[in-house]
């Protein structure tokens, strides 16, 4: 029996997986494979939190495949070498995968297509991880969009996303399974020390966990999304981002679930946030070095400060600003941070501390379970002012006012910064103003004074504009 290979990557699911359905329809035996490629130049290795999630996501996918009479073959090494060897071992006549969009992976995919075509092996790739391909959305002149609102308007004028594909009910197995690595041998989980207790308590990686999260969101949270999405102390967002990052659920499934509730202001707002993800991938596709280089070249001359002890204080949630520290501690404990707070902590790093956005991007890449090259780079550059459709240079988030506006009762801060729990609402976001401020050995003094830091940032931005 001839064999087709399905190469799983950022699509660790059975439902709405066009590469898998194509392989099933070929009539061949199907060999699903995941390659841990940390060696190919230009392809970014997963961070520590993502490695934790990847372990359980692969475990879940393998269990689902075994329920269909199949299994997931795990191999480690440069994907070009691994897949070429696997195809030869299996006598594969076809290989299918779903597209990814970072430059390093696209370059690798192009080399693989050339290699396999020269060997007479059919190769096809599919759209599974976006609603709209980057080349499907452009300005009237054919250029990529640089501003979100017209981009999303153009997307909504296109035919709506296709109906998600059903999961297969069975997969034909090869006569002999190729060898693969045991998952434990990859050592994706932390051991010394095991810092992942908060991740385990918070998340259920895998396709079933993703479907449960989506169902809960549309049934319980979506109706109040417009109001609650900015409040970090309440469950007002979907928390689907890590499931999307690993492809345990696809954007078409999310689109369909939101639309089945009927068009509403809440569903439109939620889908526009999904649209921001599309916009980020559009930017990444057309700007392959988005995570390393300023989108706006004039920012190459920006006078970033040296990342001294203030970077460490920011990373550890010890800045003296409660909303910033709460966010950074939530991140370290759970591998996730509320989106409103992400903007606050990013503004604090890049504008209050004048530390290069790339230092923050690297920290998020290592600590977020939803670390996503497009979203991460786009978000950081948006806040820093160096990106497409960026926040204007004079927009510097005031961490005190942001806390008072979006965490008015201090519930979020009290949860993540318990040493401030006894402070009243009036001073929970400005503990230095409390009648009896907390001792410095319990909660740190401010590492910068926001007013002075804002003035310094604005002066730097104004000088940059003058020299541009």
DSSP letter string over 3-23? EEEEEESS---STT-HHHHHH
**Residue 309: Cβ within 10 Å count:** 9
* pLDDT, tens digit, 9 for 90 and up, residues 271-290: 999 999 999 999 999 999 99
Is 320 inside a domain boundary? yes
Burial 144-180 (b: 16+ CB within 10 A, else e): bbbebeebbebbeeeeebeebbeebeebbbbeeebeb
Same domain (yes/no): 91, 40: yes
1 band by pLDDT with thresholds 50, 70 and 90: confident
Dist. CA 89–CA 66, nearest whole Å: 21
DSSP classification of residue 217: I
Same domain (yes/no): 143, 235: yes
Are 123 and 94 in contact by the 8 Å Cβ rule? The answer is yes
Same domain (yes/no): 222, 303: no
189-to-47, 53, 72, 74 alpha-carbon distances in Å: 11, 9, 19, 16
405, two tokens: 């506006």
Is 179 inside a domain boundary? no
Are 158 and 136 in contact by the 8 Å Cβ rule? The answer is yes
Residue linked to tokens 């475990």: 59
Are 281 and 130 in contact by the 8 Å Cβ rule? The answer is yes
Same domain (yes/no): 116, 231: no
Is 168 inside a domain boundary? no
Is 318 inside a domain boundary? yes
Mean pLDDT of 185-191: 96
Burial 10-47 (b: 16+ CB within 10 A, else e): bbbbbbbbbbbbbbbebebbbbbbbbbbeebeebeebb
For residue 244, pLDDT over 80 is answered with yes
**Please, which residues have CB within 8 angstroms of residue 104's CB and are 6 or more apart in sequence?**
40, 41, 42, 43, 44, 288
For residue 466, pLDDT over 80 is answered with no
- Residue 347 sits in a domain of what CATH number? 1.10.579.10
Are 352 and 455 in contact by the 8 Å Cβ rule? The answer is no
Mean pLDDT of 234-257: 97
Same domain (yes/no): 376, 400: yes
97: enclosing H helix or E strand: strand 92-98
For residue 152, pLDDT over 80 is answered with yes
Same domain (yes/no): 340, 352: yes
Tell me what pLDDT residue 468 has. Answer: 58
Is 171 inside a domain boundary? no
Mean pLDDT of 254-275: 91
* pLDDT, tens digit, 9 for 90 and up, residues 82-114: 999 999 999 999 999 999 999 999 999 999 999
| Number of domains composing the chain | 3
- Residue 45 sits in a domain of what CATH number? 3.40.50.620
For residue 432, pLDDT over 70 is answered with yes
Of 266, 286, 306, the position where a domain reaches its end is 286
- Residue 267 sits in a domain of what CATH number? 1.25.40.80
Same domain (yes/no): 26, 119: yes
Of 114, 129, 144, the position where a domain reaches its end is 129
Same domain (yes/no): 113, 67: yes
Active site positions, annotated: 273, 276, 304, 339, 357, 380
Burial 215-235 (b: 16+ CB within 10 A, else e): eebbeebbeebbebbbbbbbe
Of 286, 321, 352, the position where a domain reaches its end is 286
Same domain (yes/no): 139, 73: no
Are 215 and 221 in contact by the 8 Å Cβ rule? The answer is no
Is 180 inside a domain boundary? no
For residue 52, pLDDT over 80 is answered with yes
**Residue 258: Cβ within 10 Å count:** 23
* pLDDT, tens digit, 9 for 90 and up, residues 65-83: 999 999 999 999 999 999 9
pLDDT above 70 covers a percentage of the chain that reads 99
Tell me what pLDDT residue 307 has. Answer: 87
Mean pLDDT of 318-323: 98
Dist. CA 238–CA 213, nearest whole Å: 7
Is 433 inside a domain boundary? yes
Is 169 inside a domain boundary? no
For residue 136, pLDDT over 80 is answered with yes
For residue 467, pLDDT over 80 is answered with no
464 vs 454, higher pLDDT: 454
Same domain (yes/no): 143, 272: yes
395 band by pLDDT with thresholds 50, 70 and 90: confident
Tell me what pLDDT residue 270 has. Answer: 96
For residue 392, pLDDT over 90 is answered with no
Are 60 and 208 in contact by the 8 Å Cβ rule? The answer is yes
Tell me what pLDDT residue 352 has. Answer: 97
Same domain (yes/no): 327, 413: yes
Tell me what pLDDT residue 369 has. Answer: 98
Domain of 277? 130-160+209-286
SS3 content of the chain, % helix, strand, coil (to 5): 50, 5, 45
Same domain (yes/no): 213, 346: no
Would residue 439 be called left, alpha or beta, if left means φ above 0 and alpha means ψ between -120 and 50 degrees? beta
Q: Is 187 helix (H, G, I), strand (E, B) or coil?
A: coil
Dist. CA 241–CA 235, nearest whole Å: 14
């Amino acid at each position: 029996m001839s064999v087709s290979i399905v190469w799983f990557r950022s699509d660790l699911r059975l439902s709405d997986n066009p590469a898998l359905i194509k392989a099933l329809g070929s009539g061949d035996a199907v060999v699903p494979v995941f390659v841990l490629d940390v060696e190919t130049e230009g392809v970014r290795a997963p961070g520590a939190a993502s490695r934790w999630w990847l372990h359980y996501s692969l475990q879940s996918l393998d269990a689902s495949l075994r329920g269909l009479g199949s299994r997931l073959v795990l191999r480690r090494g440069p994907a070009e070498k691994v897949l070429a060897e696997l195809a030869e071992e299996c006598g594969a006549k076809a290989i299918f995968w779903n597209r990814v969009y970072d430059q390093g992976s696209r370059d690798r995919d192009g080399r693989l297509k050339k290699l396999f075509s020269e060997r007479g092996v059919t190769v096809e790739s599919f759209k599974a991880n976006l609603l709209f391909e980057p080349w499907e959305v452009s300005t009237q002149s054919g250029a990529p969009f640089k501003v979100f609102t017209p981009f999303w308007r153009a997307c909504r004028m296109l035919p709506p996303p296709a109906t998600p594909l059903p999961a297969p009910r069975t997969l034909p197995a090869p006569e002999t399974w190729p060898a693969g690595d045991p998952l434990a041998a990859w050592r994706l989980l932390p051991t010394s020390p095991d810092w992942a207790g908060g991740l385990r308590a918070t998340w259920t990686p895998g396709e079933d966990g993703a479907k449960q999260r989506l169902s809960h969101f549309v049934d319980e949270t979506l109706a109040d999304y417009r109001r609650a999405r900015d409040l970090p102390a309440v469950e007002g967002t979907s928390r689907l981002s890590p499931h999307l990052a690993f492809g345990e659920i696809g954007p078409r499934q999310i689109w369909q679930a939101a639309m089945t509730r009927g068009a509403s202001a809440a569903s439109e707002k939620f889908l526009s946030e999904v649209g921001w993800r599309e916009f980020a991938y559009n930017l990444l596709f057309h700007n392959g070095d988005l995570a390393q280089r300023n989108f706006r070249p004039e920012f190459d001359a920006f006078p970033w400060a040296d990342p001294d002890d203030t970077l460490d204080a920011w990373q550890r949630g010890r800045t003296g600003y409660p909303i910033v520290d709460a966010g950074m501690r939530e991140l370290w404990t759970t591998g996730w941070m509320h989106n409103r707070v992400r903007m606050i902590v990013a503004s604090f790093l890049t504008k209050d501390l004048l530390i290069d956005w790339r230092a923050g991007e690297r920290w998020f890449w290592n600590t977020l379970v939803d670390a996503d090259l497009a979203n991460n780079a786009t978000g950081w550059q948006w806040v820093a002012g160096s990106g497409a459709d960026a926040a204007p240079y004079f927009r510097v988030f005031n961490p005190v006012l942001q806390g008072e506006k979006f965490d008015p009762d201090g519930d979020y801060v009290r949860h993540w910064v318990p040493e401030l729990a006894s402070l009243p609402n009036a001073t929970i976001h400005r503990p230095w103003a409390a009648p009896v401020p907390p001792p410095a050995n319990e909660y740190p003094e401010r590492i910068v004074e926001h007013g002075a830091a804002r003035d310094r940032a604005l002066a730097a931005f104004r000088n940059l504009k003058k020299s541009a």
